[in-house]
């Protein structure tokens, strides 16, 4: 199996480097072999780190219960966020993307490590702030013909992301007049000025904090706990939107403000 995992990782790595697509790799790994898929993901994570890329955080995928049911799984998945994925100036070259789609979601930035036993209250205390984000997902698997092992091995279909400038505390600091209802906050994502996707916090496992807690516990169990400063993209609050060159997206989440991204 190790040879097969390496083969799957090699295929995905070549597709990543050449900005191309490949046939589904579930034929190699098995449609439900999640451990093998994460092993393939880890091979390519180490490759990226070896060439100087830095891990900035994690992304959580498959946070919609409907999508979980569609793929036949009972939990989300995760991928690694690298410094090369972060968009800082609001512009992203289309040539960098592969079958791209846009999602609007809530990002959490940690102010403390999460390595001891913890509950949801501890997680909230560890989060320095929340902000709006646009995640660009992209699949190296042709035509987005994916099952659970395809997307996990493909780093949870991660591509790029941008964070908003508003930093909202979850700790109820009334003096700063900051508050957000993570379950009911409304999200809109416009494409070229036209509403393209909408939803609310409940679309992400009933509350984006549920997704973040799942990830924190998984990483602790693996001996790789979440650390201070990490960015957590908690999952889409509405449907993905296809991207073409020249598109401009604006994501707005109630209580968190807006962020825009131009595809050049």
Q: Which domains does the chain have, with CATH numbers?
A: 55-263 (3.90.850.10)
Banded pLDDT at 178 (limits 50, 70, 90): low
Neighbour-count burial of 93, counting CB atoms closer than 10 A to its CB (0-12 exposed, 13-18 middle, 19+ buried): exposed
| CB burial readout 224-236, b (16+ within 10 A) else e | ebbeeebbbbbbb
Contact 208, 201 (CB under 8 A): yes
The mean pLDDT of 205-233, rounded to a whole number, is 94
Q: What is the mean pLDDT of residues 206-213?
A: 95
Return the pLDDT at 174: 37
The residue ranking higher by pLDDT, 32 or 92, is 92
Kindly list the distances between the CA atom of residue 231 and the CA atoms of 137, 162, 254, in Å, as whole numbers in the listed order.
16, 11, 20
Query: pLDDT at position 185, please?
Result: 95
Rounded mean pLDDT of the chain? 93
Mean pLDDT of 25-47: 94
pLDDT band at 175 (very low <50, low <70, confident <90, very high): very low
Confidence of residue 171 (pLDDT cuts 50, 70, 90): confident
The H or E element that residue 8 is part of is: helix 2-18
Task: Flag whether pLDDT at 176 surpasses 70.
Answer: no
Spatial separation of the C-alpha atoms in residues 258 and 264, rounded to whole Å: 20
**For residue 172, pLDDT beyond 70:** no
> What confidence category does residue 75 fall into, taking pLDDT thresholds of 50, 70 and 90?
confident
- Kindly indicate the confidence band of residue 135, based on its pLDDT and cuts at 50, 70 and 90: very high
- Residue 177 confidence (pLDDT): 44
pLDDT for residue 186 is more than 50: yes
Share of the chain above pLDDT 70, in %: 97
Evaluate if residue 168 carries a pLDDT over 90: yes
pLDDT category of residue 105 using cuts at 50, 70 and 90: very high
User: Beta strands 186-191 and 248-253: pairing type?
Assistant: antiparallel
The mean pLDDT of 108-112, rounded to a whole number, is: 96
With contact defined as beta carbons under 8 Å apart, do 8 and 29 qualify? Answer: yes
Q: What is the pLDDT of residue 121?
A: 92
Query: What pLDDT does residue 179 have?
Result: 67
Name the residue among 31, 53, 41 with its Cα closest to residue 8: 41
DSSP 29-93: H-TT-HHHHHHHHHHHHHHHHHTT--EEEEEEE--SHHHHHHHT-SS-EEEEEEGGGB--SSEE-
Mean of pLDDT values over 194-201: 96
Backbone angles phi, psi at 91, to 5 degrees: -130, 140
């Amino acid at each position: 199996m190790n040879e097969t995992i390496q083969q799957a990782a090699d295929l995905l790595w070549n597709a990543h480097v050449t900005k191309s697509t490949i046939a589904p790799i579930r034929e190699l790994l098995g449609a439900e072999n999640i451990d093998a898929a994460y092993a393939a993901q880890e091979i390519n994570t180490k490759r990226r780190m070896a060439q100087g890329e830095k891990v900035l955080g994690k992304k959580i995928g498959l946070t919609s219960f409907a999508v979980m049911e569609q793929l036949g799984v009972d939990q989300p998945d995760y991928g690694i966020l690298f410094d090369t994925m972060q968009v800082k100036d609001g512009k992203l070259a289309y040539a960098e993307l592969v079958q791209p789609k846009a999602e609007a979601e809530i990002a959490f930035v940690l102010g403390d490590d999460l390595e001891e036993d913890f509950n949801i209250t501890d997680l909230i205390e560890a989060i320095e702030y929340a902000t709006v984000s646009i995640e660009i997902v992209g699949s190296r698997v042709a035509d987005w013909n994916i099952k659970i092992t395809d997307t996990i091995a493909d780093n949870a279909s991660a591509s790029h992301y941008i964070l908003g400038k508003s930093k909202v505390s979850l700790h109820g600091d009334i003096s700063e007049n900051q508050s957000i209802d993570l379950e009911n906050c409304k999200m809109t994502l416009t494409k070229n000025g036209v509403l393209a996707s909408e939803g609310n916090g409940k679309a992400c496992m009933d509350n984006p904090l549920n997704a973040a807690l799942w990830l924190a516990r998984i990483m602790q169990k693996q001996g790789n706990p979440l650390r201070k400063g990490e960015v957590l993209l908690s999952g889409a609050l509405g449907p993905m939107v296809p991207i073409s060159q020249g598109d401009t997206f604006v994501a707005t989440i109630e209580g968190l403000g807006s962020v825009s991204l131009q595809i050049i």
